[in-house]
Structure formats: structure tokens, C-alpha cells
């Protein structure tokens, strides 16, 4: 129990919750002591609004983002207060403010958080309407609260400048370990491989998110301020973890064939699986040590496990007198090489945290880092381009605006105590997708009921202001901490916090609790109904775009891999960018599929085809990465005309698949293309036969290269054919 509490206390989420609790509670306590409770509340709310916008970023982006966000919140509060008593002006202005605030989400992650906080600020401004100079001063106090939060956040940063990156890296190491463990599970004779691959896809989504977060911070810091010892350690670890992930994805095996080959020598696969599990275990323990900021001393001898595997492979080859040029020999060589490379990369991560790396080639690895970062750019044209029903942002903004306006009118017409709690519930619960809104509606309702019952029991026993104030601060901290990871628990403690605050402010706490429950039920019901009936954003409407983006990203990645194979030399930036985008797009497609599973069965349209396309795209990414990794780590021969022709044909099939999905015209003669492909594959096989006939040491590497090229091109062509076929099925089923 104590270990779990310590682990939670060391997390990024807890530090974030602690920041906003300090920034909100301190002004409230100080100004209350000075007899200026209203000023303290305004400052506390300013900090509360600023907190969601404080996403991981560079110091410059943090400062600029929080300053602009605080100014926006203050401006919105001022406008609402000044127009409230003029109905003809107020209602149109309120609708415009709600819609514009919601539409900010088109500008990315930080803007989405600003949008959320802006809607919170508008909702809570109805708690107490002010007029004239009082409204202006209240807006300024709110702005001051945002600035105070900025100062607290900066203080946390300078006390532990690398803590966020360390914790994110610890989580990345843990997820990478889990991914490697799943790869080991694939070698079980009765393994449910489709299920394991689906788990890998789901895991890839989380890994991609952390990659993007860390890339923004680590690359920005290196570009803006060079690289210090600690930054170097973290950057080396991050780059190597990305390489571990790519190596795992790029190295695929025909599990059934190898299991059949080795059925009389099961010790080979047992040793390989044992090594895979040891690598995963080593990373998992390293993750724990990084998270706890303690020195890691590995007791696992992965060298011994690697040597045991290599010896088992050698014994098998000697027993069977297997020629190194045969298929099984090359498959085993590929397995051994993959294991050796992963062992070396995991050692690199280990040494990075031990600061035992003497040299690391940043110059070539990090050339053009700025191109790998998501640019902070907010053109006005993006806003206007999304003002149509084809935009999911527009539909959600319109839906949210209408729902809040209806909630506001219900609160005004019916005898509710405070309309702002209905609006607050709608803002907090309502999300673009049906599944998440439904889940949050349920969790918020349960959390509110449980929190109200618990808080009611406490305030019935004691009315001590000091005791209730202490409990309120603790509940605020816990509620904010759990708000992202477990919304039900978060809602429970936030409700308790609100009840305790009202318990201090008003003697009629029983009535307050009743109204809070009623407000929550009304808000949750409105949010759920609106997402179901007002321009619903069902995931199947967006999935086609994710599929086409993923197929096209894979096509570009294959194209850049072929260019690299032809030109050799230093890894080009274009290749690395294409690889990054291919990884991101397959993650987006998988995330879309996950969201669809949360929706009603009647809206889970084309689920089998979407799942097939997600798996096929993942397989194509794996095949392309396998070829790219081989080119990077081996001295290769010149790319043949046959290679280029086959790659062009595969790329053409992928382009046609995109055209089919977009219902665009295309020119394709499968019989003619297949004849030409067969001829090119025959040419490659003849090259392989010539090399096989040489039977010398030099020809072994060439044999390995041509064998891998033939295997990967054959696999890619089969995948492209399947993508083409399933795309046709997808469009046909969608038309019906």
C-alpha cells in the first residue's frame, strides 16, 4: 500500500495536481485571512483555468501559452459580466463566445486545452455576475491567478527541470518492455497470434503518443540551448528506445514455419523466448529505477542468455548439417542477429542512465531535428477552413454550443439554484466522440452521488472550518490527480471538495448537495442526448480518412526506403520523416478503431474490414521497416531494375487503394501487372541461384541480401493485393 502511494506521489500527474492545488489554495487562504475572500476565489479560479493549458513544452512555449490563455479567460469573463443584463446582446454574444472557444480545438493539443478552460471560465462566470468596475477588477484578479499559476509552474520546473522527461521515459521503457514481452508470447505453440498482434497495435498508440511528447521537449531543448550532460543522457535513451521499437517492428518471423523446422530441437525457441522475456524484464526493472530516481544494477545476465541462444542455433545447424545458404539457416541467422542487436541497444539505454557512454553520434542522428517537431503555427485560415459540416470540429462546436445554451435556459426557467453547475457538467462531460461522452456521463454521475454521500456524512458530523478547509484542499489535490486516469474517482473527490467549500460558506449544506446532484443529472443527460442526436460524430464517418492517410503514409515510406536503397550513404531526412509519419498514421488508425468499439453496435459499421486494413497496414509498415533496417546495418549491392519495378508496382497498388477508398477514377490492369511482376520476381530468383552456385564466403552476404529482398517484396506485394481487395470490400459494403 505504501509503495503504491509513493509511486503515485512521484508521478507527473501528482506534481501537476500539486501545482494547481498550491496555486489555487494559497491565494484563497491568504486573501480570506485578509478579509478579501472574493479576491482569493477569483485568483484561485484563474489558476484553475490556467492549469489544463500547462502541457509539456519548452519554457518559452509554456510562458507564452499561459500568458495568452490567462488573458483569454479574463477577457471572456469580462464580456459575459458586462453583457449579462442586456438580453438582446447577451444571448447572441454568449453563443458566439461558446462556439469560438470550442473551435479553438482545430489548432492542436495546447489550443484544445485553452478551449476547454475557456468554456469552464464562461460557465463559472455565472456563479456571481458583476457589473461595471467590479467586473473589470474581477477579470484582472482572474488573470493574476493565471500568472501566479505560471510562477508556481516555473518554480516546479526549475526545482526538477528534467523530472517530467524522466518519468515519461520511464513509462516509455515500461511500454517498450511490454511490447517485447508480447513478441516473446508469439513463440508459444498455441499462441493466439491475431489477438497478440492486436494488443501490439493498441500498445503502439500509447508508445507513439509518448514519442511525440518527448520529441517536442528533447529536440526543442537541443536546438534552442545545446546539450548538457543530463540532456545528453535523456536524449540518448530516447533515441535508442525509438530504435528498439523500430527494430522490433521491422524484424518479423514466420512463426509457424520456424516452429515446424525446430520441432525436434525445441530448445532453440525456448532459449530465444527466454532471452525475449529477459530483455523485457530488464527494461521493466530499469523503468522502475528511472521512475524512482535510484541507481539501477541489473542482476540479469542477458549476455549469458544470448550466448545460450547462439550455441543452441549452432548445435541445431551442426546436428542437421545445414548449409548457411538454406532458408532455415537464414531465418535462424536473422533471429540471432535481431537478438544481438536488441541486446546491444538495451545495453545502450542502460549505459545512458549510468552515464557510461563515451561517445554518441548526435551529428548524423539528429540532423534536421526541427523537422521532426510539430510546429506551433496558428493561421486564421485553419479556423475558417473548418467552418463546414464536413468538419468534425465544426459539428462538435455547434453541438456543444446548442447544448450549453439549452442547459442555460433550463437553469433559468426551472427552479435550479445555480445554472453554472449544469453548464460545468456539460463542458466537462461532452466530448466529440459518443463513446467517451457516454463513459464520462456515467462516471461523473456515479462520482457525484458517491462524493455527495461521503461529504454529507462528514459535514453532518463536524462543521469545523479548519477541518473542512484541510479536507477541501486534500480532496482538490486527489480529485485533480485522478481526473485524467480515473474520472469516476476524480469526480468523487471534486464533488467532496465542492461540498466542503460550501459547508464553510453556507449553513444550508443539505440543500446545496441536493441541487448539485440534480444539476449533474441534468447536465449529464443533456450531454449524452446531444452527442446521440445533434450532428453525431460517429467514428465510422472518419475512419476512411484514417485508412487513406495510413496507406498513403506507408506508400511514401516505401518510396523513401527504395530511394535510400538506390542511393546508399547517409540516412536522408526524408526517409526518417516518412518513417515517423507512417508510425503516427498507423497509430491514428488503431486509435480510431478503438473508439469505434466504444460506440453502439448499430454504429460499428464495417468493423471487420477496418480491423483487416489496420492489421494489413501494420504488416506493411513492418515489412518496409525490415527492409530499411537491413539497408542501414549492412553493406548492400546496387538496387536492380527488378527491385525498382516491383516497388513501383506495390506503390501503384497502394495509390489505387487510396483512389478506391476516395471513390476516384483509376487505371489498373491486374493481369498485365501480375505477368510483369512474375517476370521480375523470376529475374531476382535467377540472381539468387547464381549467387548460391558461387558457394564462397563473399557470396554469403549477397545471398542473405537477395533472400531478404525477395521475401520482403513478396510479402509487400501480397499485402498490397490484400489492401486493394479489402478496400474494394470496404467501399462496396459502405455503398450498401
Q: What is the pLDDT of residue 255?
A: 72
For the chain, the average pLDDT equals: 79
**Residues 156, 513: Cα–Cα separation, whole Å:** 36
Closest CA to 392 of 526, 524, 531: 531
The gap from C-alpha 389 to its chain's centroid, in whole angstroms, comes to: 27
With contact defined as beta carbons under 8 Å apart, do 43 and 26 qualify? no
Question: Cα dihedral angle (55, 60, 66, 69), rounded to 10 degrees?
Answer: -100
Sequential DSSP letters for 51-85: GGG--S--HHHHHHHHHHHHHHHHHHHHHHHHHTT
CATH, domain 162-372, list 1.10.287, 1.20.58, 3.40.50, 1.20.1550:
1.20.58
With contact defined as beta carbons under 8 Å apart, do 62 and 149 qualify? no
Closest CA to 298 of 579, 457, 290: 290
CA dihedral sign of residues 190, 593, 215, 5:
negative
Helix (H, G, I), strand (E, B) or coil at 519: helix
Q: 410-429, pLDDT tens digit by residue?
A: 888 877 767 888 888 888 88
Which range is most confident: 73-87, 255-269, 448-462? 73-87
**Residues 684, 706: Cα–Cα separation, whole Å:** 7
Residue 546: C-alpha distances to residues 551, 560, 720 (Å): 9, 21, 17
pTM: 0.75
Taking residues 640-667, report their average pLDDT.
Answer: 84
The set of residues, in sequence order, having a beta carbon less than 8 Å from that of 498 and lying 6+ positions away, is 516
CATH, domain 540-735, list 1.20.58.220, 3.30.750.24, 1.10.10.60, 3.30.310.50:
1.20.58.220
The b-or-e profile of 71-105 (16+ CB within 10 A means b, else e) is: ebbbbbbbbbbbbbeeeeeeeebbbebbbebbbbb
Taking residues 235-250, report their average pLDDT.
Answer: 82
Look at 540 and 346; give whichever has higher pLDDT.
Answer: 346
Residue 291 has pLDDT above 90, yes or no: no
**Residues 596, 513: Cα–Cα separation, whole Å:** 36
Taking residues 536-541, report their average pLDDT.
Answer: 74
Taking residues 442-455, report their average pLDDT.
Answer: 81
**Residues 699, 134: Cα–Cα separation, whole Å:** 86
Q: What is the pLDDT of residue 360?
A: 45
Question: What cell numbers appear for 702 in the block?
Answer: 549477397
Q: How confident is the model at residue 537 (pLDDT cuts 50, 70, 90)?
A: confident
Domain ranges of the chain: 1-159, 162-372, 540-735
Look at 270 and 671; give whichever has higher pLDDT.
Answer: 270
Question: What cell numbers appear for 128 in the block?
Answer: 456571481
Residue 455 has pLDDT above 70, yes or no: yes
- Between 76-85, 274-283, 515-524, 702-711, the lowest mean confidence (pLDDT) is in 702-711
Look at 505 and 164; give whichever has higher pLDDT.
Answer: 164
**Residues 475, 490: Cα–Cα separation, whole Å:** 9
With contact defined as beta carbons under 8 Å apart, do 559 and 499 qualify? no
**Percent over 90 (pLDDT), the chain:** 6
Q: What is the pLDDT of residue 10?
A: 66
Report DSSP state, residue 11.
S
Residue 588 has pLDDT above 90, yes or no: no
**Residues 62, 54: Cα–Cα separation, whole Å:** 7
Neighbours of 725 (CB within 10 A): 14
**Residues 22, 26: Cα–Cα separation, whole Å:** 6
Residue 225 has pLDDT above 50, yes or no: no
Place of cell 472518419: 542
Residue 304 has pLDDT above 80, yes or no: yes
Taking residues 562-576, report their average pLDDT.
Answer: 81
Q: How confident is the model at residue 151 (pLDDT cuts 50, 70, 90)?
A: very high
Look at 284 and 568; give whichever has higher pLDDT.
Answer: 284
Neighbours of 218 (CB within 10 A): 23
CA dihedral sign of residues 290, 296, 300, 305:
positive
With contact defined as beta carbons under 8 Å apart, do 83 and 93 qualify? yes
Q: 325-371, pLDDT tens digit by residue?
A: 666 777 777 778 888 888 888 888 887 776 644 444 444 445 544 44
Q: How confident is the model at residue 148 (pLDDT cuts 50, 70, 90)?
A: very high
With contact defined as beta carbons under 8 Å apart, do 231 and 362 qualify? no
Taking residues 555-573, report their average pLDDT.
Answer: 84
Q: How confident is the model at residue 259 (pLDDT cuts 50, 70, 90)?
A: confident
Q: What is the pLDDT of residue 355?
A: 60
Q: 659-705, pLDDT tens digit by residue?
A: 888 888 777 766 667 777 777 777 777 776 676 666 655 666 667 77
162-372 and 540-735 in the same fold: yes
Taking residues 613-617, report their average pLDDT.
Answer: 87
Place of cell 554518441: 360
Q: What is the pLDDT of residue 324?
A: 61
Q: 180-202, pLDDT tens digit by residue?
A: 898 888 888 787 888 888 888 88
Residue 124 has pLDDT above 60, yes or no: yes
Question: Which DSSP helix (H) or strand (E) runs through 653?
Answer: helix 641-661
**Residues 573, 560: Cα–Cα separation, whole Å:** 10
- Between 184-198, 309-323, 372-386, the lowest mean confidence (pLDDT) is in 372-386
Q: What is the pLDDT of residue 627?
A: 80
**Residues 675, 654: Cα–Cα separation, whole Å:** 18
Residue 300 has pLDDT above 70, yes or no: no
Q: What is the pLDDT of residue 508?
A: 66
Q: What are the φ/ψ torsions at residue 571 (nearest 5 degrees)? A: -65, 120
**Residues 618, 405: Cα–Cα separation, whole Å:** 44
Taking residues 105-122, report their average pLDDT.
Answer: 83
Q: What is the pLDDT of residue 369?
A: 46
Closest CA to 345 of 205, 474, 411, 251: 251
Q: What is the pLDDT of residue 283?
A: 86
Amino acid at each position: 500500500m505504501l509503495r503504491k502511494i509513493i509511486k503515485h506521489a512521484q508521478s507527473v500527474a501528482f506534481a501537476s495536481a500539486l501545482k494547481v492545488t498550491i496555486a489555487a489554495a494559497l491565494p484563497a487562504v491568504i486573501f480570506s485571512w485578509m478579509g478579501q475572500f472574493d479576491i482569493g476565489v477569483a485568483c484561485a479560479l484563474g489558476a484553475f483555468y490556467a492549469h489544463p493549458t500547462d502541457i509539456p513544452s519548452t519554457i518559452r512555449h509554456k510562458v507564452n501559452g499561459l500568458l495568452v490563455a490567462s488573458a483569454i479567460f479574463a477577457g471572456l469573463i469580462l464580456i459575459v459580466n458586462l453583457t449579462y443584463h442586456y438580453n438582446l446582446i447577451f444571448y447572441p454574444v454568449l453563443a458566439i463566445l461558446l462556439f469560438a472557444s470550442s473551435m479553438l480545438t482545430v489548432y492542436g493539443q495546447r489550443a484544445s486545452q485553452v478551449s476547454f478552460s475557456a468554456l469552464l471560465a464562461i460557465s463559472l462566470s455565472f456563479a456571481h455576475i458583476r457589473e461595471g468596475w467590479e467586473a473589470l477588477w474581477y477579470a484582472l484578479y482572474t488573470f493574476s491567478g493565471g500568472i501566479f499559476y505560471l510562477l508556481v509552474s516555473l518554480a516546479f520546473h526549475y526545482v526538477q527541470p528534467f523530472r517530467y522527461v524522466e518519468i515519461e521515459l520511464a513509462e516509455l521503457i515500461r511500454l517498450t518492455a511490454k511490447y517485447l514481452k508480447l513478441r516473446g508470447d508469439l513463440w508459444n505453440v498455441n499462441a493466439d497470434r491475431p489477438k497478440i498482434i492486436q494488443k501490439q497495435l493498441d500498445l503502439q498508440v500509447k508508445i507513439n503518443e509518448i514519442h511525440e511528447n518527448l520529441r517536442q521537449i528533447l529536440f526543442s531543448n537541443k536546438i534552442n540551448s545545446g546539450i548538457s550532460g543530463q540532456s545528453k543522457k535523456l536524449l540518448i535513451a530516447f533515441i535508442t528506445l525509438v530504435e528498439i521499437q523500430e527494430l522490433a517492428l521491422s524484424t518479423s518471423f514466420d512463426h509457424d514455419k520456424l516452429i515446424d523446422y525446430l520441432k525436434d530441437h525445441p530448445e532453440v525457441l525456448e532459449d530465444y523466448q527466454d532471452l525475449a522475456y529477459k530483455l523485457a524484464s530488464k527494461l521493466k526493472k530499469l523503468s522502475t529505477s528511472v521512475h524512482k530516481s535510484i541507481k539501477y544494477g541489473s542482476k540479469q545476465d542477458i549476455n549469458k542468455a544470448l550466448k545460450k541462444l547462439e550455441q543452441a542455433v549452432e548445435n541445431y545447424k551442426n546436428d542437421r548439417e545445414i548449409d548457411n545458404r538454406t532458408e532455415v539457416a537464414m531465418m535462424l541467422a536473422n533471429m540471432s542477429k535481431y537478438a544481438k542487436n536488441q541486446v546491444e541497444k538495451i545495453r545502450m539505454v542502460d549505459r545512458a542512465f549510468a552515464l557510461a557512454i563515451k561517445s554518441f553520434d548526435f551529428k548524423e542522428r539528429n540532423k534536421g531535428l526541427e523537422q521532426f517537431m510539430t510546429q506551433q503555427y496558428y493561421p486564421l485560415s485553419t479556423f475558417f477552413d473548418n467552418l463546414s459540416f464536413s468538419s468534425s470540429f465544426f459539428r462538435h462546436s455547434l453541438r456543444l454550443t446548442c447544448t450549453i445554451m439549452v442547459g442555460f435556459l433550463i437553469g433559468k426557467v426551472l427552479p435550479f439554484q445555480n445554472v453554472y453547475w449544469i453548464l460545468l457538467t456539460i463542458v466537462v462531460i461532452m466530448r466529440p466522440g459518443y463513446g467517451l461522452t457516454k463513459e464520462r456521463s456515467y462516471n461523473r454521475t456515479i462520482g457525484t452521488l458517491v462524493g455527495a454521500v461521503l461529504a454529507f456524512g462528514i459535514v453532518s458530523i463536524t462543521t469545523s472550518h479548519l477541518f473542512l478547509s484541510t479536507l477541501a484542499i486534500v480532496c482538490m489535490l486527489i480529485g485533480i490527480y485522478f481526473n485524467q486516469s480515473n474520472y469516476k474517482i476524480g469526480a468523487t473527490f471534486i464533488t467532496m471538495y465542492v461540498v466542503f467549500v460550501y459547508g464553510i460558506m453556507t449553513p444550508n449544506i443539505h440543500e446545496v448537495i441536493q441541487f448539485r446532484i440534480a444539476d449533474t443529472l441534468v447536465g449529464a443527460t443533456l450531454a449524452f442526448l446531444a452527442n446521440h442526436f445533434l450532428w453525431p460524430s460517429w467514428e465510422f464517418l472518419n475512419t476512411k480518412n484514417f485508412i487513406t492517410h495510413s496507406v498513403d503514409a506507408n506508400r511514401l515510406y516505401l518510396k523513401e526506403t527504395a530511394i535510400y536503397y538506390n542511393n546508399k550513404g547517409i540516412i536522408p531526412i526524408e526517409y526518417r520523416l516518412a518513417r515517423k509519419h507512417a508510425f503516427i498514421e498507423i497509430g491514428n488508425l488503431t486509435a480510431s478503431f478503438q473508439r469505434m468499439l466504444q460506440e453502439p453496435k448499430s454504429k460499428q459499421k464495417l468493423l471487420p474490414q477496418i480491423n483487416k486494413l489496420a492489421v494489413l497496414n501494420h504488416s506493411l509498415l513492418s515489412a518496409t521497416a525490415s527492409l530499411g533496417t537491413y539497408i542501414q546495418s549492412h553493406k548492400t549491392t546496387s538496387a536492380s531494375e527488378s527491385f525498382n519495378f516491383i516497388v513501383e508496382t506495390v506503390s501503384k497498388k497502394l495509390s489505387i487503394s487510396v483512389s478506391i477508398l476516395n471513390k476516384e477514377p483509376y487505371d489498373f490492369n491486374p493481369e498485365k501487372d501480375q505477368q510483369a511482376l512474375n517476370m521480375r520476381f523470376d529475374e531476382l530468383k535467377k540472381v539468387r541461384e547464381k549467387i548460391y552456385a558461387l558457394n564462397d564466403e563473399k557470396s554469403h552476404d549477397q545471398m542473405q541480401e537477395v533472400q531478404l529482398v525477395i521475401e520482403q517484396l513478396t510479402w509487400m506485394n501480397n499485402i498490397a493485393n490484400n489492401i486493394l481487395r479489402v478496400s474494394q470490400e470496404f467501399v462496396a459494403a459502405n455503398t450498401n
